[in-house]
Structure 1
């Protein structure tokens, strides 16, 4: 299935679960980690367990658990008993070893979506995700925990773009996802009122090769879905390229509308048609 938009909902706010399902998001992430205060985590686990138990067949439901090294981890595992969510979001993941540890702790095989850049050590393990690609449903990154761990004042420039260390983390996640042949999911755009800024951000994400983005508010979902859905002109171009290569199956290079196109253009066209369901 497509994972264009993945909307977070705090586990201790069950009144938001149904609203998240109705938002149009491709997936909803029920959060047991950062959006839930420590005192509220037991109730959040109850809320999430009950909701997933009765809604697992609807919109793809993911559960973000607490980190493997957290004292909350074992209680989160217990809360997963009897559940079959679409995937588990693993924060502060540190490469293939983290995925293997989580997979080995689960009672059944559930896909994992690691957040790949939240600790300094994690940066050096990003390339290992291709070794556990069959356990993944995608790969994503975060721009908040890493600067906090390093004592950086911010990950962003004044114009909203990332400073070089965090742009590197983003790029490495993108490359690692494609190396593992899983969806590359960009991180959240934190100012949910700034939809123009979001459009620019998500446009850049799609341009760079991401296939989806996480969201923190329902108002962001439509913008994200629209950005990651090929429009009519893109589909028409892709169909034309695919047809031109199909007409000349032995050609490595063709001329189309005054441009020379080779096999990378065909791969892009096929990708666009695949995303568009053609």
Structure 2
């Protein structure tokens, strides 16, 4: 099943780690960055490493990612060195500034994979765009594809702090124009690079109706998944980002129409459809875990 929900789990919280794999999240993000204080970094690295080693890739029910510290942080390499042996499925790399950061990350991880006896290139990378203002100016550097990159998310809260702003929302709750632009840049950049665009968190984890509304807007804008900070958010995210039975049925009819009529433009239920409609239908089926 394609990734829909990604749940953060603090790397230094043993109790939360032990309960995390009972959730329905498609991905658990074992966090070594923002949710872990500097004094707990060593403890978190050990707990995350053990968590990964106790769950070999072949036996994992969920994908296990690790959010490391930024490449420019002195703790970045220590995070990688501590957990690569456990073969996480990916690293969520925060505060990227340009594709050069992922290239440096790739060199570090390749050396550590070799040291650990893992195939080079096994572990993927998912950068978080927009947390550093420079990344908005350098987003084009990701478009041609970057080693290991499998997705891309964005961070309006860190961007707000970096810009010295006091809010990133309008009075009606929508993103202020600068942040709406950053959100759009993330979708465009991810799609240009051929990777999955992943929406940011909904901070008010108690308000599930608000979360559902955000998910609907995210999905219609082009995001295919969303980050979660609480287990209660996972079910809503999974439901919203899974194509409905009606969507799947329509997508199948579109694909079938193109197959039968064998043309670049086809008619279906009184509407003329062309190749963008076929691409959209195929994506719906892929998101539903179907090939046709």
Deviations along 1:59-84, one digit per CA (max 9) or x if unpaired, are 10100011112121232122124221
CA distance in 2, matches of 1:42, 1:14: 13
Choose from 62, 75, 91 the match for 2:78: 75
Check if 1:46 corresponds to 2:59.
no
| 1:91 aligned residue | 94
Choose from 44, 53, 68 the match for 1:65: 68
Taking a change above 3 Å as real, the CA distance of residues 37 and 196 of structure 1, as seen in their structure-2 partners, is same
**Cα deviation, residue 134, structure 1:** 4.3
Check if 1:273 corresponds to 2:273.
no
Q: TM-score, normalised by structure 1?
A: 0.96
**Cα deviation, residue 131, structure 1:** 3.0
CA distance in 2, matches of 1:200, 1:266: 27
Q: How many residues align?
A: 277
For structure 1, the residue ranges without an aligned partner over 5 or more in a row are none
CA distance in 2, matches of 1:22, 1:81: 23
Choose from 236, 258, 275 the match for 1:223: 236
The 5 Å alignment of 1:141-156 reads 141-156=154-169
Whether contact under 8 Å (1:117, 1:169) holds in the other structure is yes
| Counterpart secondary structure, 1:55 | coil
Between 138-147 and 124-133, report the one with greater CA deviation. 124-133
Deviations along 1:211-264, one digit per CA (max 9) or x if unpaired, are 101100000000001111111100110111111111111x22222112121111
CA distance in 2, matches of 1:207, 1:81: 36
Q: TM-score, normalised by structure 2?
A: 0.92
CA distance in 2, matches of 1:147, 1:126: 18
Q: CA RMSD in A?
A: 1.2
Whether contact under 8 Å (1:99, 1:132) holds in the other structure is no
Whether contact under 8 Å (2:129, 2:135) holds in the other structure is yes
CA distance in 2, matches of 1:145, 1:256: 46
Choose from 237, 255, 259 the match for 1:246: 259
Deviations along 1:71-128, one digit per CA (max 9) or x if unpaired, are 2123212212422100011110112101000010112232101001111111111121
| 2:117 aligned residue | none
CA distance in 1, matches of 2:69, 2:56: 21
CA distance in 1, matches of 2:38, 2:207: 30
